[in-house]
Structure 1
Amino acid sequence: MILSPTVLLLSLPLALAQYGGGSPAASPTTSSTSAPASTTAPSVSIQTVTVGENNQLVFNPDTITAAVGSEVEFIFFPPSHSVVQAAFDAPCQPIGNNGFYSGAFTTSSGSNANSFTITINDTNPIWIFCGFPGHCEAGLVGVINPNASQTLSLFKAAAAKVSSTTDPTFAPQGGVIGPVQAAVSASPSSSVSATPKPGSASEIKGSTLWAGLLATVVTAWGIAELMA
């Protein structure tokens, strides 16, 4: 008995069902879903100012522009420094009881683990100096949101003529003392589609499928020959 080609063709669906079906030409892709959008409010803009870094009596930067609602963080280096708010026409002395003052930050090496952070409430110029004796006169002064008529160069020149720095007698105020804030940049999540690489499980599965199908057809032909 010889099985006709029609019978052999009719056996193909059975073979396909046995080995899982499918086409080797179709390379499945997998997509990883993107991370859910964060519901956390965006972080406040923070600008960093170092004080006395590399043994230099400077604020770095000594001039910055800061928007209302943003923050300015002062990071202190050895040996001892502070940041005090002053008036433009009275450098090297506290602006008054309403001005901010960090207190003295004494550091043996590297930057102090804590910082002093202020929040910008308006765009008026904010003049600052270091309250450590002699530092203000030597140029450790700066400004936030300067204007055209009141410049840092004028303020620094006036500070150089001061006989001595007046360190605040009141406790630290007007800002937050806490661990140095690290700037975190969140990378946007994305959806990734991956196609199987050569030798991947999906390709192996396809090869196994068609090898099994071929074996089934060959076996059917062999049985047909035996029964002839």
Structure 2
Amino acid sequence: MRFSLLTLLSATAALAAPSQVSEGTSLEARNDGVTHFVYVTENGIFPPEVHANEGDFIWFRFGYGLNSIVEGEYEQPCQSYGNGFASPSIYHTNSGYYHQVFVVDVPNTEPRWYYSSEDSRCKKGHVAVINPPSDGSQTLANYQARALRAPRVMEFSERGGQMENDN
């Protein structure tokens, strides 16, 4: 049992850590940025905070059920930001993760706040941030608290990223 637990913990750490884009993917031709994996599930967005550099990529992997992610603004939780990213709604009925990822380029190190837009999950606190401010002026905890009181989630359309096969 010890070996199995150690193996599982090692695999979990490896999946959560940023990694270089693997050879042979269509993203490799774009640049040498680091790929950060974010998992979007019925239970939340993991990890809720990602620290990325300009030129990195965020690969959103979708779990079982109906899932999507939409970029919003800090001051207006659960509201789509017109110039931000938005994935399509992904309905996945199998165990594990959907066979495609939604890929978003990181153009700079400015904060990018986003949320899960399906089934009022944003209003249940399913929010996250890429590059939270280091000065503490805007926090994920505050964004999440305000999301719980936010008005109805607005409609959105896919933009600002693209679906790729998860090789």
* Contact kept in structure 2, 1:76 and 1:112, CA below 8 Å: yes
Q: Which residue of 2 aligns with 1:70?
A: 56
Partner of 1:37: none
Percent of aligned pairs with the same amino acid:
28
Q: Runs ≥4 in structure 1, deviation > 6 angstroms? A: none
Deviation at 1:131, TM superposition (A): 1.3
Partners in 1 of 2:48 and 2:119 — Cα distance?
Answer: 19
Partner of 2:89: 104
Write the deviation string for residues 117-139 of structure 1: whole angstroms up to 9, x where unpaired.
Answer: 10101111000001113100111
Cross-structure match for 1:151: 139
Question: Per-residue displacement from partner, 1:61-114 (whole Å, max 9, x unpaired)?
Answer: 000100000001000012111010000000101011x11111101100221101
The counterpart of 2:161, out of the listed 162, 175, 178, is 175
Q: Deviations over 1:9-57 (max 9, x none)?
A: xxxxxxxxxxxxxxxxxxxxxxxxxxxxxxx9884310000001xx41x
Structure 2 residue 113 is the aligned partner of structure 1 residue 124: no
Aligned residue for 1:157, secondary structure, equals helix
Alignment match, 2:154? 166
Between Structure 1 and Structure 2, the one with more helix by share is 1
Question: 1:104 is aligned with what amino acid?
Answer: S
One-letter code of the match for 1:140?
H
Task: State the 1:164 CA deviation.
Answer: 2.1
| Equivalent residue letter for 2:38 | V
Higher relative contact order (CA 8 A, sep 6+): 1
Summarize the alignment of residues 1-228 of structure 1 with structure 2, pairs less than 5 Å apart. Answer: 43-52=32-41, 55-56=42-43, 58-96=44-82, 98-109=83-94, 110-147=96-133, 148-168=136-156, 170=157, 172-181=158-167
Supply the AA of the counterpart residue of 2:160: G
Alignment length (residue pairs): 136
Looking at structure 2, the residues matched to 71 and 136 of structure 1 have their Cα atoms a distance apart, in angstroms, of 23
TM-score with structure 1 length normalisation?
A: 0.57
**Root mean square deviation, CA, Å:** 1.6
If the length of structure 2 is used for normalisation, what is the TM-score?
0.77
| Letter paired with 1:155 | Y
Whole-angstrom CA distance in 1 between matches of 2:115 and 2:36: 17
Name the SS for the 1:143 alignment partner.
Answer: strand
**Counterpart of 1:22?**
none
